[in-house]
Structure 1
Amino acid sequence: MPRLDALRGLAMLWMTLFHFGFDLNHAGLIRQDFYRDPFWTWQRTAIVSLFLLCAGLGQAVAVAQGQRWPRFWKRWAQVAGCALLVSLGSWWMFPRSYISFGVLHGMALMLLLLRWAGPRLPGWALLGLALLALAAPQLWQHAFFDSRWTNWVGLVTRKPVTEDYVPLLPWLGVMLLGFALGRAWLARQRVLQGGIAAPLRPLAWLGGWSLSYYMLHQPVLLGLLYLYQRLI
């Protein structure tokens, strides 16, 4: 659906600008605190939220269109495989803070849960579970979940030292909201359906290649920065 693809493309573009700033900072060309400055931390939260909201919307569309399990598993394997590559690449660049459960890791797990439970639950149950997932880390934490092997749950007492961290809780709540909204909008045949204005078509094209773009944009940005530093 072009409108959903355009929304996903917007998330990709915003992410690229954010990562470009992060890379400039890592290269020493600017001085920003990406880990504590609200200007950057809130942007990260918004970008991840938009990603997962789009993922939930996309699953609602897939279910409505009768997507079969083999096609789901093919896409899921791509996401999970890319998550593994992200872990390996980040371990090479940031051995002390490599990504063990970032956005793709979280998405792979959430997609499994959503695809199994989402079609079976009524709208009110989806919304209730979404709110519970969003609130859970604020309501209860335990030191058991602070290790790298268990922090994927999200009930940590302290944020782990890692370059990206998107645990099951609270982020499953965002994907559940996306699925619930998508199902409601599809039932009313509005919002997601229909065409888009010509200026937005490049965003829709970008959104249609979101996973490939996600995996390639950082190596390209880092390569360009490396060339720039070699030339100046």
Structure 2
Amino acid sequence: MDFRRGDDGIMSAVDGVPAQGSTPGTAGGSKTGGSRRPAIDVARGLALVAMALYHASWDATYFGLARFDLLGDPLWLAARTAILSSFLLLAGIGLVLATRDGLDTGRFVRRLGRVAAGAAAVSAASYALFPDSPIFFGVLHHIVLASIVGLAFVRLPAALTLTAAAAAVLAGTSLSFPVFDGPWLRWIGMTSVAPESNDFVPVLPWIGAVLTGIGLARLWPGIGEGVAVTGAARRILALAGRHSLAVYLLHQPLLFAIAWAAAQILPVEAPAVRDFQAACVANCERAGVASATCTANCRCVQSELARNGLWEGFVANRLSEREQRGLEAAVAVCRKP
């Protein structure tokens, strides 16, 4: 198999959608009719656009620029499922295309290693930025494992693979056991309590999407073949799809930085402050205190915590015993008439 240097996207880095016959200046970097299938790159590029829009919405909500209910609104939950499923489905399709003439183990392992390194980088960054909800098994982690497991299915009958896909989805969505809640097993899925993570893509049920892609590619060997990519927009999508690992790793830090900068310029209230104010005022009012007094006192407490350098620790629930006394002092100061 010929894995060209430019073919290093999330899916193609792992799946190695082969690029024999690619020539500079052609749509998606490949000849129409060559063994590379630019239509698959375009599909991956569209998935990247959808993912970027979702992440931009998350960033805007995180910094208080918007109030999207990403974790509760059924439409947002469906959008996340569709976007993630599309990536994993394409991973399965790419795996079949990459191995249809046999597997070049060395190149496959090297490409797999690049995605594993990307997964490690994502985890490291998330532990630094979000220690209470780090990414320990996200989409890149899943793709690495699913690509290895998927190799066992690329020569099996499509019906058997699709049955395994349905079983994975059924098990992952209907079964839960406390034993899988532990840190060493939760990556499998079937947890009884969802772990705190900004991107959790366990083996079950999500490997079902990869297996579905494998099954579809086995049923339809010519998937994406003979489709010319014309027009600037499609060419850009195809280019992004070919380099999707780089796009994946770079787009979120860029979007996050833009949202952070916007939050510094625009008069917005950070979500943590907003949530604290709402909870504080509600608790205060339940004690029979007037709403206006509660609002003033709660704003005072937040300001005191920020002034004394205790706010970040308070939000993260990591105040030391000394800092806890500082919190009590702030409450006492703000309660004075």
Q: Which moved more, 1:57-66 or 1:8-17?
A: 57-66
- CA-CA distance at 1:51 after TM superposition: 0.4
TM-score (structure 2 length as normaliser): 0.65
Q: 1:190 to 1:227 in 2, by over 3 A?
A: closer
Q: Deviations over 1:4-37 (max 9, x none)?
A: 0000000000000010010011111111222122
Matched, 1:201 2:226: no
1:50-61 equivalences in 2 (<5 Å): 50-61=86-97
- Matched residues in 1 for 2:168 and 2:245: separation? 25
Q: Secondary structure at the match of 2:187?
A: coil
Whether 1:211 aligns to 2:245 is yes
Provide the rounded CA distance (Å) in 2 between the counterparts of 1:155 and 1:201.
40
Matching of residues 9-48 of structure 1 within 5 Å: 9-48=45-84
1:168 aligns with 2:203: yes
Write the distance in 1 (CA, Å) between the matches of 2:158 and 2:262: 51
The answer to whether residue 101 in structure 2 is matched with residue 68 in structure 1 is: no
Cα distance between partner residues in 1 of 2:210 and 2:60: 31
**Aligned match for 1:98, one of 101, 121, 134:** 134
| Native 8 Å contact 2:172 2:189 kept in 1 | yes
State the Cα distance separating 1:230 from its structure 2 match.
4.0
- Alignment counterpart, residue 134 of structure 1, candidates 169, 190, 199: 169
Q: Which has the higher contact order (CA 8 A, sep 6+)?
A: 1
Q: RMSD over aligned Cα, in angstroms?
A: 1.5
* Residues in 2 aligned to 1:175 and 1:130: alpha-carbon distance in whole angstroms: 8
Tell me the equivalent position of 1:152: 187
Alignment-mate amino acid for residue 234 of structure 2? L
User: What's the offset of the Cα at 1:158?
Assistant: 2.1
2:325 counterpart residue number: none
Compute the displacement of 1:91 (Å).
1.0
Structure 1 counterpart of 2:83, one-letter code: I
Deviation of 1:196 after TM superposition, in Å, equals 2.5
State the 1:76 CA deviation.
Answer: 0.7
How far 1:229 moved relative to its partner? 3.7
Residue 231 of structure 1: how far off its partner (Å): 4.5
Larger Cα-atom Rg: 2
Structure 2 SS opposite 1:64 = coil
**Aligned residue among 119, 126, 131 for 1:83:** 119
Normalised TM-score (structure 1) = 0.93
1:192 is displaced (CA, Å) by: 3.8
Extract unaligned runs of 5+ from structure 2: 1-36, 267-337
What is the alpha-carbon distance in structure 1 between the residues aligned to residue 219 and residue 262 of structure 2?
48
Provide structure 1 residue ranges, at least 5 long, that are not aligned to the other structure. Answer: none
**CA distance in structure 2 between the partners assigned to 1:88 and 1:193 by the alignment:** 41
Greater share of residues in helix? 1
1:38 is displaced (CA, Å) by 1.5
- Say which of 239, 242, 262 aligns to 1:228: 262
Distance in 2 (alpha carbons) for counterparts of 1:170 and 1:224: 33
Please tell me the residue identity of whatever aligns with 1:223: A
Structure 2: which amino acid aligns with 1:153? I
CA distance in 1 between counterparts of 2:223 and 2:172 reads 34
Counterpart amino acid of 2:51? M
Cα distance change on mapping 1:4 and 1:65 into 2, 3 Å: farther
Change (3 A) 1:43 1:9: same
Given that residues 102 and 166 in structure 1 are in contact (C-alpha distance below 8 angstroms), is that contact kept between their aligned partners in structure 2? yes
* Deviation digits for residues 181-227 of structure 1 (CA, Å, limit 9, x no counterpart): 112222xx354443223242211111001001000001111222233
Q: How does 1:112-131 map to 2 (within 5 A)?
A: 112-115=148-151, 117-131=152-166
CA distance in 1 between counterparts of 2:200 and 2:226 reads 33
How much has 1:149 moved relative to structure 2?
A: 1.9
